[in-house]
């Protein structure tokens, strides 16, 4: 009887210790899902598969041993309205803890209403945060030939939304890509393979704290 009682006590102690160890695991050890909702800049348009900044991000996460699955839901030619339409199904399917929003550039290039773009981006942020995800908004700018006033209002739209919705902002996703010949494809719109690491460098400092 004493031996049996001793074994029961030992098993009970082991069970308690195991439970304490599990509950004491750091929060960042839990698996995360990161959803990228973007357009051609994130969809590897004109690039070899696996060479875009989202693919480089996935590799960076593995190097740093951050337990995060990357879902790239970007589509070339996507607008903010299109992203808003697709997002509910993506949130339901993947249940991301972080959503990176890289949209609006095509809206601007097509001359769509700034008010409509702002409304769509606001809804994308709200849908994401209401689903429990943190949001990183990637700011874009318009070329000066679209008009100085329009370009200023377009850039300010991202800053305003980030402040209004209290989400993280990368002020200008294409920061540092000033050399058209060196960093862009022949269409002079889409960054080339050489530029992808710079795009990741622009996103990483804002994103990394959310992963831990």
Residues designated catalytic: 40, 187, 190
Residue 186 tokens read as 């022949």
Tell me the HSE value of 39 on the side-chain side, using a 13 A CA sphere.
Answer: 22
Residue 25 tokens read as 């695991």
**CA-closest candidate to residue 184, choices 13, 48, 54, 41:** 41
Give the orientation angle of helix 80-94 with respect to helix 114-130, to 10 degrees: 10
Q: Where do we find the tokens 């348009």?
A: 45
DSSP-assigned beta bridge partners for residue 16: none
């Amino acid at each position: 009887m004493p031996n049996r009682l001793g074994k029961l006590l030992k098993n009970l102690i082991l069970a308690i210790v195991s439970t304490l160890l599990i509950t004491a695991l750091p929060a960042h050890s839990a698996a995360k899902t990161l959803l990228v909702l973007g357009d051609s800049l994130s969809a590897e348009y004109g690039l070899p598969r696996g060479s875009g900044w989202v693919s480089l991000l996935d590799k960076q996460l593995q190097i740093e041993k951050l337990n995060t699955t990357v879902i790239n839901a970007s589509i070339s030619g996507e607008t903010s309205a299109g992203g808003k339409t697709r997002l509910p199904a993506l949130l339901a399917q993947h249940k991301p803890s972080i959503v990176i929003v890289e949209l609006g550039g095509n809206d601007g290039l097509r001359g769509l209403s700034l008010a409509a773009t702002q409304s769509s981006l606001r809804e994308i942020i709200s849908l994401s945060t209401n689903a429990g995800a943190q949001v990183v908004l990637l700011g874009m700018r318009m070329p000066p030939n679209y008009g100085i006033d329009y370009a200023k209002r377009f850039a300010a739209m991202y800053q305003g939304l980030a402040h209004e919705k209290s989400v993280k902002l990368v002020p200008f996703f294409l920061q540092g890509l000033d050399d058209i010949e060196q960093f862009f494809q022949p269409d002079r719109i889409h960054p080339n393979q050489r530029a992808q690491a710079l795009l990741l460098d622009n996103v990483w400092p804002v994103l990394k704290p959310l992963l831990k």
